[in-house]
Structure 1
Amino acid sequence: MSSDSPSASSPASAPAGATLQLVWLRSDLRVHDNTALSQAAARGPVVAVVAPCLAQWVEHGHGANKLDFLRRGLHVLQQALAGYHIPLKVLDCDTFAEVPEALAALCDQLGAQALHFNDEYAVNERERDRRVRERLTESDVRLHRYTDMLAFTPGELLTGKGDYYGVFTPFSKRWHKEVDSRRLALNEAPQVQATPRDAQGREIHGDAIPPLPETLKGEPATALDAELWPAGEEAAQERLERFLTFRARRYHEQRDIPATRGTSELSPYLALGMISARQCYAAVLAENGSLADGDVGLTSWVNELIWREFYQHILVGFPRVNRHRPFQRHTEALQWRDDDAGFVAWCEGRTGYPIVDAAMRQLVQTGWMHNRLRMVTAMFLTKHLLIDWRRGEAFFMTHLVDGELGANNGGWQWAASTGTDAAPYFRIFNPTTQGQRFDKDGEFIASMVPELAELPAKRRHQPSADDCQQTGYPRPIVDHKAARQRALDTFKALSKSE
């Protein structure tokens, strides 16, 4: 990465014979360390383009929190690109199906003869990109694709039998063994260019970023306070620096404590590419000198970044998980319960289990949930209530500002014992002891469940019937022991039917 801001020198002239390059930005909303943008800018004058496709995003389950973060990120990106005289065009497409023709028309309008983009790995995105390749090939537009969000292109890391890894630990060991400086090298930022011109010699200017619609799926498109999640790569870099300075070396100790800001809080920025995993690895290498050895806090955090990559490989290697199917095929036959009242109580944080309710309220109020609590709440829904993990996955996606198919699906299937590295079906978290262990004094519970804040710390985890009556907090909607046994019986029945 050359610098944090555009060069103050005169605009760079294009290479002799250079033609206009179009770079299509998707989940890589940054200027620095962006493979497609860097490669496009090295070949000639460049114009950036985005296709928000809000209707498609809504169809995929994303809610106002993620879409508003995207919209704000596009505004910041447009301003950053303007510093390099790179205009940002916006395609008026509602769905992925409209993108190939819209890109072909833009290439024809501008006189662009090459399109650059970084690969994405969910099945619908891959199909969209296949159709783009077919359509632009018809127009003699050269396509340049890059592996950018991952260190390894899916299919590069395979088992000894030539299969995709379905378990994280051997994948991680192979990742560490094979990764090298070339794969982790940061891309050069573009130089300031002269304002690009179209085929008729007219200056090319950017387009306005469209607002969010007033409703999404018939619901008001209300979003979070922007101060909770400031958008853009500068905000991401600031969070990375604060994390490395104040929290990273205690990450392994504090990552499970929800009352403490012990995590990086970079997941929304990684999901939309406002920061790259390479930039995170480079920062760790600068601090620690190694990704696998040395400070245990830093290496633990690197492990979480590799989990994100693992789940992208899973999307390609096991495409059924893209289509709401379990990774573990035999769990297709699981008998989930229809319990709308229980599901609503879970969604609203009224289960009577304080740590579960505090976590669910955190999700709804902030668009984010602490990772330990994602496991606790997901396991409560799928094991205590025996409600299909797909309902919980969809609810999370609607509210998460960092919602992303690979990580969200992977986490939910792990908790439900249907996925990769799935928790054994007999591993069922006791939500009360989880709260007592990771929120010892009930600080997090008190912050999110104010009706319990005046109780002594120990009683916040398991309020008595009198406490509930006096505070208005609900009694547990299910008994832990009975629910645990019900889940065990259900999974055992599945095992016997195989």
Structure 2
Amino acid sequence: MTTLVWFRTDLRVHDNPALWHAAQRKDDVLGVVFVSEKQWRRHGLGPRKIQLIKNRMYALADELKALNIPLLIVNAPTFAECNLSLQRACVQMNISRVNFNIEYEVNERHRDIEFARWCRENQIEVNKFHDQCLLPPGSVVTQQGGPFRVFTPFKKAWLQQANVVMQPPLPAPAKRNAADARTLETLARVQSQMLKQGPLPEQEDDPLWSVAEADAHDKLECFISERALDYKDDRDHPLREGTSRLSFELSLGILSQRQCLHAAQQENKGFLAGGFPGIDCWISELIWREFYRHLLVAFPDLCKHKAFKPETEAVPWRHDEDDFLAWCEGRTGYPIVDAAMRQLVQQGWMHNRLRMITAMFLTKHLLIDWRKGEAFFNHWLVDADLASNNGGWQWSASTGADGAPYFRIFNPTSQSEKFDASAEFIAQMVPELAVLAPKDRHAPDNLQRARCRYPLPVVNHQYGRARALEAFKLSQAQTLTEGDA
């Protein structure tokens, strides 16, 4: 008998429930992963993230090979073709059961429902495991039994449950006996047939982003042992190595949520809260990540480009392509915004404080629909992740799950002076301003801008702020009027 492990956004051998439970049986174990590039593009992923996914698949194949577990890498452009390929493989390989870790997005859930239905009809056992969240969506609810809509009470309830169920991460499976000649022959035949669906992609190493699981473990250990204690103080300063930068590894599943939480808890005197302030703060950020996944399941319209707060659909967003393009290209005339946007395009990553500044600038100062910014980030980020990206953008736009009112609007210049006081980050990412004195880089005057060939601001801060407040106020009034009609 053979158990097939279907890898998705869980591309690792350590702490992988689907793989671990498959390996505990005496059955043969086979892995499969799909290159679904057409589907990924439909979901807005950009070329860099797509290439890194492919690179990680090849690295996973090598890591599994060391455990004598073969991995089929299959070209199936869409989720529908994934299911057809998987069904053929199950028949050809005489698969008795399939293990996979659950994905929570709407399209992925529909794909899995269809496949599970086919398996039932063909007497193939399906085993599903929760992997992306320590506590499965739907398990952390209010006293009335509904989903939490605000983070702070969610976190309090989450901590109460997590302290009870928290367990160490699962190890990698033990090395298995090598597959026999007949199994290898069948596997080669299936792989050959699947190659007819299209050639497998090439590897293209990215100098900034390693896809090795061992490197991810080292990166986590380095952060926990060297920087986590200072996380609360350092995390908002883009020039400091204050954050973990593990969002990339989490988005591909090279690391698990449990691995990060467990490592932090161990360094935090055994606590998930109430230990060192820096580690407590980082754990809180991991809980935010989980909160957004719970919301995705409780409110599936979030996967369909809908605002979490329905009344904000009435906000009269501006459709100014020139302003939007200036934001995309890092030439808004606000140095911290432009530095952040250039970091995004160059590195495929942006510091979290800068994500809030740039998102709030687009949605409040320019009054441009958050969905356009969310899509731009999704295209460029190597850590692109629907739940976190959508949650962050809607938080910044005041359309999402947040207890604060809509009139929270960051002043980008004040943010720059506070979190990049020396303006060194600005000098690095906007080099034309490096010739200015540090204090002048935050908001150059017109003469300095002309000398540096740096653009004037696309909008005055006070004007943009007032315009946003009026737009949100009008949308609320309109919603109330419609509700009374």
Do the aligned partners of residues 73 and 165 (structure 1) sit closer, same or farther apart at CA in structure 2, a change above 3 Å counting? Answer: same
CA distance in 2, matches of 1:326, 1:171: 20
- Residues 355, 445 of structure 1: 8 Å contact kept: yes
Q: Does 1:284 align with 2:264?
A: yes
* Residue of structure 2 in register with 1:35 after alignment: 17
Which letter does structure 1 place at the counterpart of 2:4?
Answer: L
RMSD value, Cα: 1.7
Which letter does structure 1 place at the counterpart of 2:130?
Answer: T
CA distance in 1, matches of 2:459, 2:185: 68
- Residues 312, 406 of structure 1: 8 Å contact kept: yes
More helix by share: 2
Which letter does structure 2 place at the counterpart of 1:413?
Answer: Q
- Within the candidate set 203, 209, 221, 1:241 is matched to 221
- Residues 356, 396 of structure 2: 8 Å contact kept: yes
CA distance in 1, matches of 2:442, 2:350: 19
Q: How does 1:200-215 map to 2 (within 5 A)?
A: 202=185, 204=187, 210-211=200-201
- Residues 163, 272 of structure 2: 8 Å contact kept: no
Q: Does 1:26 align with 2:26?
A: no
Which letter does structure 1 place at the counterpart of 2:74?
Answer: L
- Residues 118, 148 of structure 1: 8 Å contact kept: yes
Alpha-carbon offset, residue 45 of structure 1: 1.7
- Residues 17, 131 of structure 2: 8 Å contact kept: yes
Q: Does 1:64 align with 2:69?
A: no
Partner of 2:187, secondary structure, is coil
Which letter does structure 1 place at the counterpart of 2:238?
Answer: P
Normalising by structure 1, report the TM-score. 0.92
Q: How does 1:421-460 map to 2 (within 5 A)?
A: 421=402, 423-460=404-441
Q: Does 1:310 align with 2:291?
A: yes
- Residues 74, 200 of structure 2: 8 Å contact kept: no
Q: Does 1:376 align with 2:347?
A: no
Normalising by structure 2, report the TM-score. 0.94
CA distance in 1, matches of 2:81, 2:200: 17
- Residues 195, 204 of structure 1: 8 Å contact kept: no
* Residue of structure 2 in register with 1:121 after alignment: 104
Q: Does 1:479 align with 2:469?
A: no
CA distance in 1, matches of 2:251, 2:167: 19
* Residue of structure 2 in register with 1:45 after alignment: 28
Per-residue deviation, residues 143-188 of structure 1 (Å, max 9, x unmatched) = 0000112111111111111111111111111111011464433223
- Within the candidate set 88, 100, 112, 1:105 is matched to 88
Per-residue deviation, residues 388-442 of structure 1 (Å, max 9, x unmatched) = 0000000000000000000000000001100001642111111000000000010
* Residue of structure 2 in register with 1:145 after alignment: 128
Residue identity (%): 48
Q: How does 1:7-406 map to 2 (within 5 A)?
A: 19-43=1-25, 44-180=27-163, 182-196=165-179, 202=185, 204=187, 210-211=200-201, 226-288=206-268, 289-406=270-387
Per-residue deviation, residues 167-223 of structure 1 (Å, max 9, x unmatched) = 11111111110114644332232121123359878463596982269xxxxxxxxx8
Partner of 1:179, secondary structure, is helix
CA distance in 2, matches of 1:262, 1:300: 12
Gaps of 5+ in 2: 481-485
Which letter does structure 2 place at the counterpart of 1:31?
Answer: V
Do the aligned partners of residues 183 and 111 (structure 1) sit closer, same or farther apart at CA in structure 2, a change above 3 Å counting? Answer: farther
Partner of 2:4, secondary structure, is strand
Partner of 1:113, secondary structure, is strand
- Residues 197, 204 of structure 1: 8 Å contact kept: no
Per-residue deviation, residues 37-95 of structure 1 (Å, max 9, x unmatched) = 00011122200000121100000000012111111111111110000111111232110
* Residue of structure 2 in register with 1:8 after alignment: none
Do the aligned partners of residues 423 and 358 (structure 1) sit closer, same or farther apart at CA in structure 2, a change above 3 Å counting? Answer: farther
Do the aligned partners of residues 201 and 492 (structure 1) sit closer, same or farther apart at CA in structure 2, a change above 3 Å counting? Answer: closer
Q: How does 1:458-473 map to 2 (within 5 A)?
A: 458-473=439-454
Partner of 2:416, secondary structure, is helix
Alpha-carbon offset, residue 262 of structure 1: 0.6
- Residues 256, 438 of structure 1: 8 Å contact kept: yes
Partner of 2:31, secondary structure, is strand
Partner of 2:227, secondary structure, is helix
Per-residue deviation, residues 439-462 of structure 1 (Å, max 9, x unmatched) = 001010001000001110100001
* Residue of structure 2 in register with 1:217 after alignment: none
Which letter does structure 2 place at the counterpart of 1:114?
Answer: R
CA distance in 1, matches of 2:110, 2:153: 29
* Residue of structure 2 in register with 1:13 after alignment: none
CA distance in 1, matches of 2:48, 2:234: 26
Partner of 1:106, secondary structure, is helix
Number of equivalent positions: 470
- Residues 358, 444 of structure 1: 8 Å contact kept: yes
Gaps of 5+ in 1: 1-18, 214-222
- Residues 57, 73 of structure 2: 8 Å contact kept: no
CA distance in 1, matches of 2:313, 2:180: 55
Partner of 1:204, secondary structure, is helix
